Amino acid sequence: MKLYYAPGVCSLAPHIALREAGLPFELVKVDTGTKRTADGQDYLAINPHGYVPAFEIEPGFTLTEGPAIMQYIADKAPASKLAPPAGSPARYQLQSWLNFITSEIHKSFSPLFKPGMPAEAKTMFKEQLAKHFDTIEKHLSRHDYLLDSGFSVADAYLFVTSGWSGFVGIELERWPSIVAFRERVQARRAVQEAMRAEGLVK
Protein backbone atom coordinates (compact mmCIF):
# COMPACT_ATOMS: atom_id res chain seq x y z
CA MET A 1 0.00 0.00 0.00
CA LYS A 2 1.20 3.50 -0.81
CA LEU A 3 0.20 6.80 0.76
CA TYR A 4 0.81 9.84 -1.41
CA TYR A 5 1.31 12.82 0.88
CA ALA A 6 2.64 16.34 1.33
CA PRO A 7 4.09 17.36 4.71
CA GLY A 8 1.70 18.82 7.27
CA VAL A 9 -1.43 18.91 5.15
CA CYS A 10 -4.55 16.74 5.44
CA SER A 11 -2.68 13.61 4.29
CA LEU A 12 -1.07 13.60 7.73
CA ALA A 13 -4.34 12.22 9.15
CA PRO A 14 -4.32 8.91 7.20
CA HIS A 15 -0.55 8.77 7.78
CA ILE A 16 -1.25 8.83 11.53
CA ALA A 17 -4.00 6.24 11.06
CA LEU A 18 -1.64 3.88 9.24
CA ARG A 19 0.89 4.05 12.06
CA GLU A 20 -1.81 3.65 14.71
CA ALA A 21 -3.10 0.60 12.82
CA GLY A 22 0.37 -0.93 12.49
CA LEU A 23 -0.13 -1.63 8.80
CA PRO A 24 2.80 -1.84 6.34
CA PHE A 25 2.86 1.01 3.84
CA GLU A 26 5.10 3.11 1.63
CA LEU A 27 5.19 6.92 1.79
CA VAL A 28 5.44 8.79 -1.50
CA LYS A 29 5.97 12.54 -1.24
CA VAL A 30 4.12 14.79 -3.68
CA ASP A 31 5.01 18.30 -4.81
CA THR A 32 1.51 19.78 -4.96
CA GLY A 33 2.80 22.72 -6.98
CA THR A 34 4.39 20.79 -9.83
CA LYS A 35 2.11 17.74 -9.43
CA ARG A 36 5.12 15.44 -9.48
CA THR A 37 6.02 12.75 -6.97
CA ALA A 38 9.42 12.47 -5.34
CA ASP A 39 10.16 9.46 -7.54
CA GLY A 40 9.33 11.41 -10.72
CA GLN A 41 5.78 10.30 -11.49
CA ASP A 42 3.03 12.50 -12.88
CA TYR A 43 0.77 12.77 -9.86
CA LEU A 44 -2.25 13.71 -11.97
CA ALA A 45 -2.04 10.24 -13.51
CA ILE A 46 -2.44 8.83 -9.98
CA ASN A 47 -5.01 11.30 -8.69
CA PRO A 48 -6.68 13.48 -11.35
CA HIS A 49 -7.84 15.89 -8.61
CA GLY A 50 -4.20 16.81 -8.03
CA TYR A 51 -4.42 17.04 -4.25
CA VAL A 52 -3.36 14.70 -1.48
CA PRO A 53 -3.95 12.23 0.01
CA ALA A 54 -4.19 9.38 -2.43
CA PHE A 55 -3.93 5.82 -1.19
CA GLU A 56 -2.95 3.00 -3.52
CA ILE A 57 -4.39 -0.16 -2.05
CA GLU A 58 -3.13 -2.29 -4.91
CA PRO A 59 -2.00 -1.54 -8.47
CA GLY A 60 -4.98 -0.11 -10.32
CA PHE A 61 -7.05 0.63 -7.20
CA THR A 62 -6.54 3.99 -5.48
CA LEU A 63 -8.74 5.86 -3.00
CA THR A 64 -8.62 9.65 -2.96
CA GLU A 65 -10.62 11.18 -0.09
CA GLY A 66 -9.25 11.34 3.44
CA PRO A 67 -12.39 10.18 5.31
CA ALA A 68 -12.78 7.18 2.99
CA ILE A 69 -9.08 6.32 3.20
CA MET A 70 -9.07 6.49 6.99
CA GLN A 71 -12.12 4.26 7.33
CA TYR A 72 -10.51 1.71 5.00
CA ILE A 73 -7.37 1.74 7.15
CA ALA A 74 -9.42 1.33 10.33
CA ASP A 75 -11.35 -1.60 8.87
CA LYS A 76 -8.11 -3.32 7.82
CA ALA A 77 -6.97 -3.29 11.44
CA PRO A 78 -10.09 -3.70 13.61
CA ALA A 79 -8.02 -4.51 16.70
CA SER A 80 -6.70 -0.94 16.64
CA LYS A 81 -10.24 0.33 17.32
CA LEU A 82 -9.73 3.36 15.09
CA ALA A 83 -13.37 3.09 13.99
CA PRO A 84 -16.43 1.42 15.50
CA PRO A 85 -17.74 -1.68 13.69
CA ALA A 86 -19.47 -1.09 10.36
CA GLY A 87 -23.22 -0.80 10.74
CA SER A 88 -23.13 0.14 14.41
CA PRO A 89 -24.69 3.43 15.61
CA ALA A 90 -21.24 4.57 16.74
CA ARG A 91 -19.92 4.09 13.18
CA TYR A 92 -22.46 6.58 11.89
CA GLN A 93 -21.43 8.95 14.65
CA LEU A 94 -17.85 8.62 13.41
CA GLN A 95 -18.98 9.38 9.87
CA SER A 96 -20.88 12.40 11.15
CA TRP A 97 -17.72 13.78 12.74
CA LEU A 98 -15.63 13.04 9.65
CA ASN A 99 -18.16 14.85 7.47
CA PHE A 100 -18.27 17.80 9.85
CA ILE A 101 -14.48 18.11 9.90
CA THR A 102 -14.08 17.79 6.14
CA SER A 103 -16.94 20.11 5.15
CA GLU A 104 -16.92 22.70 7.92
CA ILE A 105 -13.39 22.75 9.37
CA HIS A 106 -11.12 21.65 6.53
CA LYS A 107 -12.93 23.59 3.80
CA SER A 108 -13.18 26.74 5.91
CA PHE A 109 -9.41 26.75 6.33
CA SER A 110 -8.66 26.35 2.61
CA PRO A 111 -9.50 29.96 1.56
CA LEU A 112 -7.34 31.35 4.36
CA PHE A 113 -4.22 29.98 2.66
CA LYS A 114 -4.99 31.73 -0.64
CA PRO A 115 -2.97 34.97 -0.94
CA GLY A 116 -5.50 36.56 -3.30
CA MET A 117 -8.46 36.06 -0.97
CA PRO A 118 -9.89 39.46 0.12
CA ALA A 119 -9.43 40.34 3.79
CA GLU A 120 -13.20 40.62 4.33
CA ALA A 121 -13.69 37.08 3.04
CA LYS A 122 -10.92 35.75 5.27
CA THR A 123 -12.58 37.41 8.26
CA MET A 124 -15.84 35.67 7.39
CA PHE A 125 -14.15 32.25 7.18
CA LYS A 126 -12.39 32.86 10.50
CA GLU A 127 -15.72 33.69 12.11
CA GLN A 128 -17.19 30.48 10.71
CA LEU A 129 -14.28 28.48 12.09
CA ALA A 130 -14.68 30.12 15.49
CA LYS A 131 -18.32 28.97 15.64
CA HIS A 132 -17.30 25.44 14.67
CA PHE A 133 -14.54 25.44 17.28
CA ASP A 134 -17.10 26.59 19.86
CA THR A 135 -19.13 23.46 19.06
CA ILE A 136 -16.09 21.18 19.32
CA GLU A 137 -14.93 22.92 22.51
CA LYS A 138 -18.25 22.19 24.18
CA HIS A 139 -18.04 18.51 23.20
CA LEU A 140 -14.39 18.09 24.23
CA SER A 141 -15.02 19.77 27.58
CA ARG A 142 -16.94 16.59 28.45
CA HIS A 143 -14.97 13.99 26.46
CA ASP A 144 -11.29 13.22 25.90
CA TYR A 145 -11.95 12.32 22.26
CA LEU A 146 -14.73 12.78 19.74
CA LEU A 147 -16.15 9.27 20.32
CA ASP A 148 -16.91 7.71 23.68
CA SER A 149 -14.92 4.63 22.63
CA GLY A 150 -11.67 6.61 22.59
CA PHE A 151 -9.19 7.75 19.95
CA SER A 152 -10.43 7.30 16.38
CA VAL A 153 -9.55 8.38 12.87
CA ALA A 154 -11.81 11.42 13.40
CA ASP A 155 -9.46 12.59 16.16
CA ALA A 156 -6.49 12.28 13.84
CA TYR A 157 -8.31 14.44 11.28
CA LEU A 158 -9.32 17.06 13.85
CA PHE A 159 -5.76 17.15 15.22
CA VAL A 160 -4.34 17.87 11.77
CA THR A 161 -6.88 20.49 10.69
CA SER A 162 -6.95 22.36 14.01
CA GLY A 163 -3.17 22.52 13.84
CA TRP A 164 -3.39 24.90 10.89
CA SER A 165 -4.81 27.65 13.11
CA GLY A 166 -1.48 29.24 13.94
CA PHE A 167 -0.63 29.66 10.25
CA VAL A 168 -3.69 31.81 9.60
CA GLY A 169 -3.80 33.93 12.76
CA ILE A 170 -6.32 31.97 14.82
CA GLU A 171 -5.31 31.61 18.47
CA LEU A 172 -6.55 28.31 19.89
CA GLU A 173 -6.01 29.43 23.50
CA ARG A 174 -9.60 30.66 23.63
CA TRP A 175 -10.66 26.99 23.34
CA PRO A 176 -8.79 25.28 26.23
CA SER A 177 -10.44 21.90 25.72
CA ILE A 178 -9.24 21.83 22.10
CA VAL A 179 -5.73 22.75 23.26
CA ALA A 180 -5.81 19.92 25.82
CA PHE A 181 -7.13 17.53 23.14
CA ARG A 182 -4.26 18.47 20.83
CA GLU A 183 -1.75 17.81 23.59
CA ARG A 184 -3.26 14.37 24.24
CA VAL A 185 -3.17 13.43 20.57
CA GLN A 186 0.30 14.79 19.92
CA ALA A 187 1.68 12.73 22.81
CA ARG A 188 0.68 9.49 21.06
CA ARG A 189 3.64 7.52 19.71
CA ALA A 190 2.11 7.01 16.25
CA VAL A 191 1.45 10.74 15.92
CA GLN A 192 5.02 11.57 16.86
CA GLU A 193 6.32 8.99 14.38
CA ALA A 194 4.18 10.35 11.55
CA MET A 195 5.15 13.96 12.25
CA ARG A 196 8.82 13.00 12.46
CA ALA A 197 8.63 11.12 9.15
CA GLU A 198 7.15 14.22 7.49
CA GLY A 199 9.83 16.49 8.96
CA LEU A 200 7.38 18.36 11.19
CA VAL A 201 9.19 17.56 14.44
CA LYS A 202 12.71 16.39 15.22
Peptide bond into 53 cis (omega under 30): yes
Residue 156 has pLDDT above 90, yes or no: yes
Give the CATH number for residue 56.
3.40.30.10
Domain count, the chain: 2
pTM of the entire structure?
0.96
Question: Which of 45, 63, 80 lies at the terminal end of a domain, its last residue?
Answer: 80
Domain boundary among 80, 114, 146: 80
* Average per-residue pLDDT for the chain: 97
How far CA 105 is from CA of 10, 133, 181, 190, in Å, comes to 11, 8, 16, 23
pLDDT of residue 201: 87
Distance in angstroms (rounded) separating the CA atoms of residues 192 and 92 = 28
Any alpha helices (H) in the chain, and if so which ranges? 12-21, 43-46, 66-76, 89-100, 107-109, 119-140, 153-162, 176-186, 189-197
Amino acid letter, residue 176: P
Residue 195: inside a domain: no
DSSP string across 132-172 = HHHHHHHHHTT-SSSSTT---HHHHHHHHHHTTGGGGT--G
- What's the confidence (pLDDT) of residue 1? 97
For 32, the domain range is: 2-80
Same domain, 60 and 103: no
- For the segment 43-88, what is each residue's pLDDT rounded down to a tens digit? 999 999 999 999 999 999 999 999 999 999 999 999 999 999 999 9
User: Strand, helix or coil at 57?
Assistant: strand
| pLDDT value of residue 150 | 97
Is position 36 within any domain?
yes
pLDDT at 202: 79
